C-alpha cells in the first residue's frame, strides 16, 4: 500500500513515520527546499507526547529534558491571575516537554527513509481518486494525506467553496534568547496584548508575544521592547537579549469548522484540517494525534472504512479543542479598561476545577 503525504511539517512527517512503521510505501511532497522548521520553541503536552510514544519517539524527546507544565498567568504588574498546581498537573496528566521546532522535525525526519522525502516539490492539485499533481509531475497512491498547513492546497482542491482561514485579529512574535536561568513557564496578560516565556532544556528561553493588530502589520524589535518596557521582570530583560534578525512575526489564523476531513481517498490532518489559535498550545499536539490515529485506522480497517472512522473520531475532538482555544485566549485581547479590570479581579477567584475543564479532555487523550 502507498501513501502520498502533502506537506512535511510536524503533522506530515509524523504521518510518514506512522505509515512507514506499518510497512506502507511513503512519499512526502514538501514545497520548501528542505525539511525543517522555524526558529522557535514548541511545547508538547502530555497528549502529544503519548502520540509520539506510539512511534517510539516520546522517550528521546523526554530524555532531552522534561519541562514543567505552565506555572500560570500573571498581569503586567506581576500579580498572579491564575497559579497552576504544577505537581498536581504532572501527577494527573503526565509530562510536558519544550523543544526547538527544528529538533522535533529532525527526529521525525530521521525515522523516515531518505528516498521517501521529496523537498522542493509544490503540490498544485489533489483529486479524490488519489492522484496528486505537483511541480515534479504526478503521483498516485491508495491514500493521500493533506498535511499542508493552514493555507492547504489539498483542502482547496477538494472543498473549493468552503471559506478559507480567518485572521483572528492578533499578530504573534516569537524568538529565543541565549541561555539564562529562569524558573517556570509563564504567560502575562495586558490589554489586547500578552507575553509568554518558556525555559528550554538547554537553558535558552523561548519567548512569544501576541497583540491586537491590523492584518499584515509589521513591528520592529525596538517597538516591541517599548510595548513591554514596563511589564514585570524578566520580560523587559528577555526582550533586550533578543536579536532583531531572529524575531519571527506571523499573523494568527484559524479555520472555520469543516464539514468533513475526508473525501474519496484523501484525508486532511493538522492545521490543514483544523488550524486553531495558539492559546492552548494544542495545534501540533492535535496534528500528532491525527497522524497516529489515521495510520492505525486505515491500516487495521481498509482505506474507505478507516477514513470514515478517522473523520468520526477526529473531527468532533479537534473542533471542540479549537473552540476552547479561541475562548481561552479571548480575555487576553480585551482592550476596555473596565472589562480588563473585571477580568483581573475575577480570574484569581475562579475555582481551579472550572479552569482545568478546558484542558482536561485535551491532556487525557490516549491512543
Among positions 103-122, residues that touch ligand FAD (CB under 6 A) are 122
Nearer to ligand FAD, 64 or 344 (CB): 64
Binding of ligand FAD at residue 306 (CB under 6 A)?
Answer: no
The phi and psi torsions of 191 (rounded to 5 degrees) equal -110, 105
Going by C-alpha positions, the residue among 250, 322, 317, 288 that lies closest to residue 10 is 288
In sequence order, what E strands does the chain have?
A: 2-6, 25-29, 41-44, 72-75, 80-83, 97-100, 117-118, 123-126, 131-134, 137-140, 143-146, 166-177, 186-189, 193-199, 205-212, 248-254, 262-263, 266-268
Nearer to ligand FAD, 12 or 190 (CB): 12
Count of CB atoms within 10 A of residue 300's CB?
11
Give the nearest distance from C-beta 351 to ligand FAD in angstroms.
26
Among positions 262-291, residues that touch ligand FAD (CB under 6 A) are 270-272, 278, 281-285, 287
Give the nearest distance from C-beta 172 to ligand FAD in angstroms.
4
- Between CA 187 and CA 100 the distance in angstroms is 19
Give the nearest distance from C-beta 284 to ligand FAD in angstroms.
3
Give the nearest distance from C-beta 271 to ligand FAD in angstroms.
4
Binding of ligand FAD at residue 69 (CB under 6 A)?
Answer: no
- Between CA 126 and CA 134 the distance in angstroms is 9
Which part of the chain contacts ligand FAD (CB under 6 A), choosing from 42-50, 78-86, 181-189, 219-227? 42-50
Size of the site for ligand FAD (CB under 6 A): 35
Binding of ligand FAD at residue 321 (CB under 6 A)?
Answer: no
* DSSP one-letter code for 22: T
Among 3, 4, 5, 7, binds ligand FAD (CB under 6 A): 7
Q: Which grid cell is 152?
A: 492547504
Contact assessment for residue 164 and residue 29, using Cβ atoms and an 8 Å cutoff: no
Contacting residues toward ligand FAD, per CB under 6 A = 6-12, 29-32, 42-43, 48, 122-123, 147-149, 153, 172, 174, 208, 250, 252, 270-272, 278, 281-285, 287
Amino acid at each position: 500500500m502507498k501513501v502520498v503525504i502533502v506537506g512535511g511539517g510536524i503533522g506530515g512527517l509524523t504521518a510518514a513515520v506512522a505509515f512507514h512503521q506499518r510497512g506502507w510505501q511513503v512519499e512526502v511532497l514538501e514545497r520548501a527546499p528542505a525539511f525543517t522548521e522555524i526558529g522557535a520553541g514548541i511545547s508538547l503536552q502530555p497528549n502529544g507526547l503519548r502520540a509520539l510514544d506510539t512511534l517510539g519517539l516520546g522517550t528521546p524527546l523526554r530524555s532531552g529534558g522534561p519541562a514543567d507544565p505552565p506555572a500560570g498567568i500573571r498581569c503586567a504588574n506581576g500579580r498572579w491571575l491564575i497559579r497552576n498546581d504544577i505537581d498536581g498537573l504532572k501527577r494527573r496528566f503526565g509530562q510536558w516537554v519544550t523543544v526547538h521546532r527544528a529538533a522535533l522535525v529532525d527526529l521525525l525526519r530521521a525515522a523516515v527513509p531518505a528516498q521517501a522525502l521529496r523537498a522542493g516539490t509544490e503540490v498544485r492539485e489533489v483529486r479524490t481518486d488519489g492522484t496528486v499533481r505537483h511541480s515534479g509531475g504526478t503521483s498516485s497512491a491508495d491514500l493521500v494525506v493533506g498535511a499542508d498547513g493552514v493555507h492547504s492546497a489539498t483542502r482547496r482542491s477538494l472543498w473549493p467553496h468552503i471559506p478559507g482561514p480567518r485572521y483572528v485579529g492578533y499578530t504573534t512574535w516569537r524568538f529565543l534568547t541565549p541561555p539564562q536561568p529562569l524558573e517556570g513557564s509563564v504567560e502575562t496578560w495586558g490589554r489586547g496584548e500578552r507575553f509568554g516565556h518558556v525555559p528550554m532544556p538547554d537553558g535558552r528561553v523561548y519567548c512569544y508575544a501576541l497583540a491586537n493588530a491590523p492584518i499584515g502589520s509589521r513591528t520592529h524589535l525596538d517597538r516591541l521592547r517599548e510595548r513591554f518596557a514596563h511589564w514585570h521582570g524578566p520580560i523587559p530583560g528577555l526582550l533586550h537579549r533578543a536579536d532583531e534578525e531572529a524575531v519571527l512575526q506571523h499573523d494568527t489564523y484559524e479555520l472555520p469548522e469543516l464539514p468533513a476531513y475526508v473525501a474519496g481517498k484523501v484525508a486532511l490532518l493538522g492545521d490543514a484540517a483544523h488550524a486553531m489559535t495558539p492559546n492552548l498550545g494544542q495545534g501540533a499536539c492535535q496534528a500528532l494525534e491525527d497522524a497516529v490515529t489515521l495510520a492505525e485506522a486505515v491500516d487495521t480497517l481498509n482505506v474507505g472504512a478507516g477514513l470514515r472512522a478517522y473523520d468520526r473520531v477526529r473531527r468532533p475532538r479537534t473542533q471542540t479543542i479549537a473552540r476552547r482555544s479561541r475562548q481561552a485566549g479571548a480575555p487576553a485581547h480585551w482592550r476596555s479598561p473596565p472589562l480588563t479590570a473585571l477580568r483581573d479581579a475575577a480570574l484569581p477567584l475562579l475555582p481551579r476545577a472550572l479552569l482545568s475543564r478546558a484542558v482536561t479532555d485535551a491532556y487525557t487523550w490516549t491512543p
